[in-house]
Amino acid sequence: VDADGTRVFALDAQAGTTEFEPGVASDTWGFNGGHLGPTLVADRGERVRVDVTNSLDEPTTVHWHGMHLPAEMDGGPHQMVDSGAAWSPEWDIDQQAATLWYHPHPHGETEDHVARGLAGMFILHDEHERSLGLPGEYGVDDIPVIVQDSGFSADGEQESKQRGYAGGLGDELIVNGTRGPYVEVSDELVRLRVLNASTARTYAFTWSDGRPVELIATDGGLLEAPVSLDHVRLSPGERAEVLVRVTPGERLVLQSTMTPEIAGLVGPVAATNGGSDAFDVLEVRAADTLDPAAVVPAQLTTIADFDESAVATTRRFELSDSFEINGAAMDMGRIDETVTVDTLERWVVANTTQVPHSFHVHDVQFRIATIDGQAPPPELAGWKDTIFTEPETEYELLMRFEDYADTDTPYMYHCHLLWHEDQGMMGQFAVV
C-alpha cells in the first residue's frame, strides 16, 4: 500500500522454464516467474494499481477478467504493452467479493499467450463475505484451483495441444501449474476457488465418492444460498467456489467425469469440447486431526432481481459459424454497440450453431434472465460474466454498465474459447 492508500501490485510478463516433471525443463511464460502469476487480493473500496512490465520479446496485454473498471484500464486489445514497455492501470474496487482472474488479451494471440502460462487469480473480499465465517485463509482452507489442460511428451516436456474445433485440447491436466496435484488440509471445511483457465476445454467437476458438489459462488460472487449439484460445469473463463467437508485422514479427489447422466446434460460438449475425457483434477488429503468449522449460513446473500420493465435497450448477438457474431468478425476499428451508461440492458445471446460456445462480457457482472424462455437453474441464477452457450439455445441476459463512460475506448464481448476469440468471434462496445 503506497502513501496515498493505493494497493500496488507488480506483474512482470516474462519467458522462463518450468519443470512439470522434475529435471525436465519446458519453455513457459509467467508473471514474476516461469509459469502463471501471483494471486492478487484486494478489498472492496480499495484503490488498486498494477505496475505491469513486459519482458517478453513481443507485445501482450493484461486483462482483468470480471472486473468493473474504466475501459482504458481493462487490458483488452487496445491496451497493448510493447516488449520492454510498462503500463500502470489503476481503479477503485467497486464490486462484491468474488474470484476473478487476469490474462493477456492481444488480438489474435490470446490462446497462445494463455496456453504458455500467462494467467493468475484476482480475489476480491468484502465485509459481508467476511462476516459469514466461510473458509478464508488463503492456501490453508481457501485454495485456488486453476485448472488447465496441457500436452506432455513421454519424458514430461510440455507440448502444444491438439487443435480441434473448440481450439487446443490437451490430454492431461495441470492445476496451479502442477501435474498430479494434491493439497493437504487441516480444516474440516475447505473452500476451493475453481477457475477454468483452459483455452478450450469444458469440465464437469464431481467428487470421487459421488458426494454432491456444494456450490457457493459463481463468477461475480456469492449465490443467495449454497446449491448441491451432482456436477459443476465450467467452460473456459468461468469460476466456481465450492465448499467441501472432510473427515480426519480422508482422501478425496476432485474429478472431471462424464457419467451417462452428466453426458445427457452437457450434450455436445462431450464430442466437441473435450468434455468426455475423465481426469483426476486435485486430490484433497485431510490431516488426522482437523480444526472444526463454523456452520455455513443457509442464506449467503440477497440478490435483487433487475426490474425488467426498466430495460432501456434490447440487443441481439447471434453466434454463428465461421466464428462470427452478428455476421461479422472482430474489427479493432469498428465499435459494434454503443451503450448508455447506468441504464438497464437486455442482451439476447443466440448460439445458432451446432456446437457450444461461451460468451463473455467485459466490465460487468450480469444475470441470466432466461435460457430458451425458461428461468435459469439455481447454479446459473447468480452473478456471471461468462456463460457456456449450448448449441441452438438462446440466453437472455440483464446488465447495467455503470459509472464509466468513454466514447473513445471500447470494451469487448467475445467467445471465451480462446481460439474462436482469436479467429474474430469478438465485438466491441462503447459505454457513453
Residues in touch with ligand C2O (CB under 6 A): 63, 65, 103, 105, 237, 360, 362, 412, 414, 416
Residue 71, CA distances (Å) to 92, 229, 410 in order: 13, 36, 6
Shortest spacing between CB 65 and ligand C2O, in angstroms: 4
In contact, 60 and 113? CB cutoff 8 Å: yes
C-alpha cell, 242: 465450492
Of 351, 355, 320, 269, residue with least CA distance to 425: 320
Tell how strand 120-125 and strand 98-103 pair up. Answer: antiparallel
Of 144, 206, 197, residue with least CA distance to 173: 197
Of 114, 110, 111, 135, residue with least CA distance to 123: 135
417 is an interface residue for Cu ion by CB under 5 A = yes
Which partner from the list ligand C2O, Cu ion, none does 135 bind, CB cut-off 5 to 8 Å by kind?
A: none
Of 103, 107, 101, residue with least CA distance to 115: 103
The residue (of 124 and 296) whose beta carbon lies closer to ligand C2O is: 124
103 is an interface residue for Cu ion by CB under 5 A = no
Q: What is the DSSP letter of 375?
A: P
Query: What's the angle, vertex CA 43, arms to CA 223 and CA 217, rounded to 5?
Result: 15
Shortest spacing between CB 44 and ligand C2O, in angstroms: 21
Shortest spacing between CB 429 and ligand C2O, in angstroms: 12
The residue (of 216 and 417) whose beta carbon lies closer to Cu ion is: 417
The residue (of 107 and 245) whose beta carbon lies closer to ligand C2O is: 107
Which partner from the list Cu ion, ligand C2O, none does 414 bind, CB cut-off 5 to 8 Å by kind?
A: ligand C2O
DSSP-derived 3-state class of residue 320: strand
In contact, 262 and 204? CB cutoff 8 Å: yes
Shortest spacing between CB 39 and ligand C2O, in angstroms: 16
Which partner from the list ligand C2O, Cu ion, none does 364 bind, CB cut-off 5 to 8 Å by kind?
A: none
Residues 49-78 that bind Cu ion (CB under 5 A): 65
How many CB atoms within 10 Å of residue 49?
16
Residues 352-371 that bind Cu ion (CB under 5 A): 357, 362
Shortest spacing between CB 421 and ligand C2O, in angstroms: 7
The residue (of 266 and 412) whose beta carbon lies closer to ligand C2O is: 412
In contact, 57 and 84? CB cutoff 8 Å: no
The residue (of 135 and 168) whose beta carbon lies closer to ligand C2O is: 168
In contact, 95 and 64? CB cutoff 8 Å: no
Which partner from the list ligand C2O, Cu ion, none does 237 bind, CB cut-off 5 to 8 Å by kind?
A: ligand C2O
Closest residue to ligand C2O in the complex (CB)? 65
Shortest spacing between CB 432 and ligand C2O, in angstroms: 20
The residue (of 100 and 243) whose beta carbon lies closer to ligand C2O is: 100
384 is an interface residue for Cu ion by CB under 5 A = no
Which partner from the list ligand C2O, Cu ion, none does 412 bind, CB cut-off 5 to 8 Å by kind?
A: ligand C2O
In contact, 277 and 171? CB cutoff 8 Å: yes
Please give the Cα distance from 213 to 347 (Å, whole number): 30
The residue (of 227 and 425) whose beta carbon lies closer to ligand C2O is: 425
The residue (of 187 and 238) whose beta carbon lies closer to ligand C2O is: 238
